[in-house]
Amino acid sequence: DAGVIQSPRHEVTEMGQEVTLRCKPISGHNSLFWYRQTMMRGLELLIYFNNNVPIDDSGMPEDRFSAKMPNASFSTLKIQPSEPRDSAVYFCASSWQGLETQYFGPGTRLLVL
């Protein structure tokens, strides 16, 4: 089992640019989560998908953030336009059923200059 796959692993961009983060959940899992982790705020849930449908996006900080899950094996998190305060590690996680054990991907380290 390859685990949760995220790309890119590192991203450095300039303020105002569009950033797209990608995630492939574990095959067979029907729940997918996007988290953001910073020293100041810890691990924050941004959005949760169940069976490819967004269930809870209350954690998405503002309209600059959007997420999609076009099929069971792929999800994207997009930031447009990016700002320096978006610099963080973004994790994707998947689980069999929403509140059960979540398996985290390696994360994407985003730095917005």
Partner 1 sequence: QKEVEQNSGPLSVPEGAIASLNCTYSDRGSQSFFWYRQYSGKSPELIMSIYSNGDKEDGRFTAQLNKASQYVSLLIRDSQPSDSATYLCAVPNTGGFKTIFGAGTRLFVKA
**Amino acid present at 81:** P
Q: Decide: is 48 part of the binding site for partner 1 (CB under 8 A).
A: yes
Q: Decide: is 98 part of the binding site for partner 1 (CB under 8 A).
A: yes
**Amino acid present at 49:** F
CB atoms within 10 A of CB 66: 14
Query: Judged by CB under 8 A, which of 13, 20, 56, 73 binds partner 1?
Result: 56
Query: Judged by CB under 8 A, which of 21, 77, 94, 105 binds partner 1?
Result: 105
- Least gap, CB of 20 to partner 1 (angstroms): 20
DSSP 5: E
Nearer to partner 1, 36 or 80 (CB): 36
Are 50 and 2 spatial neighbours (Cβ–Cβ below 8 Å)?
A: no
| DSSP, residue by residue, 76-90 | EEEESS--GGG-EEE
Applying CB under 8 A, the residues found at the interface with partner 1 are 31, 33, 42-43, 45, 48, 50, 55-56, 59, 91, 98-107
